[in-house]
Amino acid sequence: MKECLKFYINGEWVDPAQPKTLDVINPATEEPCAKISIGSQADVDKAVAAAKKAFETFSKTSVEDRVALLGKILEVYQSRYGDIAEAITMEMGAPAKLSQLAQAAMGVAHLGTMIEILKGYEFEEQRGTTTLRKEPIGVCGFITPWNWPMNQIMCKVAPAIAAGCTVVLKPSEEAPLDAYIFAEVMDAAGVPKGVFNLVNGDGPGVGAAISSHPDVDMVSFTGSTRAGILVAKAAADTVKRVAQELGGKSPNIILDDADLEKAVAGGVMGVMQNSGQSCNAPTRMLVPAGKHDEALKIAKATAESVKVGDPNAEGTTMGPVVNEVQFNKIQGLIQKGIEEGATLVTGGTGRPEGLNKGFYVRPTIFGNVTNDMTVAREEIFGPVLAIMPYESEEEAIRIGNDTVYGLSGYVQGELAHANKVAAQIRAGQIHVNGAGPDLHAPFGGFKQSGNGREWGELGFEEFLETKAVLGANAA
C-alpha cells in the first residue's frame, strides 16, 4: 500500500504537525490502496506563511520567467503522465482509457493553454492619463474535488502561477494520490520555495482553515453547493475573493429538427462518461412529446451498450463511483425515482449483473419524468438520466431554466435554431450539437452553480487585481 504521509511546504516534504492518517479506498475493490496524513490548522498556518513570504518575490518575476517555469512544469508532468493516470484510476475508479485520454490529459491541456495566454497577455494599458495595471492577487487557497481531480487542480494552479500568485492546495481526501504526484512534479520542476504548497486533509480541518485564513487573499473551491456555501461563509470575515464551481443539473434540449438517434445516444453517453460524476453532465434530457417513446428506445439501447466493470480491464467504458457514501446516495435517488412514478427504462438499484464487489452502479434511464420529481431536481452525480417530454419549445426552455443550478446547457437541432434556443438558457456554458470542451472558453455557472470563471483568459484574470494609476501619463 502506497504511503503519502508528508506534506509539501516551502519546497520541502515535511511531517504533519499532528500525526493522523486516513486510508484511501480503491472504489473498484473496496480495499485500501494508500494512506495519507490528515492536516490541521497548524499545517495550514505553516503553508500559508510560506506562500505569503514567497509572494513577495514571485509576484515580481517577469512574464518570461513564468513562461519558462510553466514550460518546465509541463515537461516534468509529461514524464510522470503514466503515473498520474494510474493514480486517478486507482483512487477514484476512472477507466484506464479515460484516465489516459481525458483525466490526466487535462493537465497537459491547461498548462499548454496557460503558457499560450501568458505569452500574449497585456498586463498594462493606457486610458487617457491613467495607467491600468493587472497585478497578481496574492496567496491563493485551492480546495479541489475527486471527480476530475487533475483537471480541477491544474485549471486553478496553472493560471495562478502564470499570474504570479502563490498557492496552498488541499486536494480531496478521497482522491489525493494524483495531487501528491503533482507536488513531486512541482518540486522536480524547480518551482521556487513556497510558491506551491500541498496540505492533505478534510474539509472541516484543512478546507475551513484555508477558507478563513486572514493571509489567504483568494479561495477557489470546486465541489457541492452545500460545501461551497460553507466556504463562502468562512471566507466572508476576511473579505477575500471567492471563486466557486459548484453543482449542476444541466438540461439537454433536443429540438424537433435534431437527428434524434444521434442526439439521444450522445446525450446518454454524456451522462455515463466518468460514471456520471461530472458537474456539467446533461442529466435532464428534454424531447418532443411525440418522439418521447422513440427516444426511450434509443436511450435504452445506448445505456445497455455501456460496459461496466474493472477500470483496468480492456473494453471497460464505465468504472465504479468514488465511494460507498456516493453509491448509497445514488441508490436512494434511483429508488426515489421509481417511487415517484418515473418510468424505469433500464438499470435500477443494485450493482450490475456479475459485479458483487466495488461501488458499481447500473446505467439507469428514467422516462416520463416531470420536473418536480426528485430525479429531475437533485444532482445525483451518478449514471442516471431523466428524460422528459415537452409540448412546445417555450415549455422546453422554461423547464430547462427551472432549476437552482446554471452550470451548463445542451441544445441539439438545426444550427440557427439551436443557437436561438441556446441564447435563452440561463447557464454559464452551452454546448450546441454535441460540441466538446474548448480550453479557451470560460467554465463556470449562473445561480447556485457558483461564481467566477475557470479556463482560458477569463479564468486567468480571476487571479489578477486591477490597479489604476491616475496621472501616470499626464503631460
Residues marked active site are found at: 245, 279
| Contact (Cβ atoms closer than 8 angstroms) between residue 140 and residue 166 | yes
**Among 456, 462, 464, 461, CA closest to 110:** 456
The label of the residue with cell 482553515 reads 209
Q: How many other CB atoms sit within 10 Å of the CB of residue 279?
A: 27
Rounded Cα–Cα distance for residues 450 and 300 (Å): 33
| Contact (Cβ atoms closer than 8 angstroms) between residue 192 and residue 65 | no
Contacts of 141 (CB under 8 A, 6+ apart): 48, 167, 168, 170, 210, 211, 213, 216, 218, 219, 220
Contacts of 336 (CB under 8 A, 6+ apart): 374, 375
DSSP conformation class of 206:
I
414: its cell numbers: 438545426
Q: How many CA atoms lie within 13 A of 445 on its CB side?
A: 26
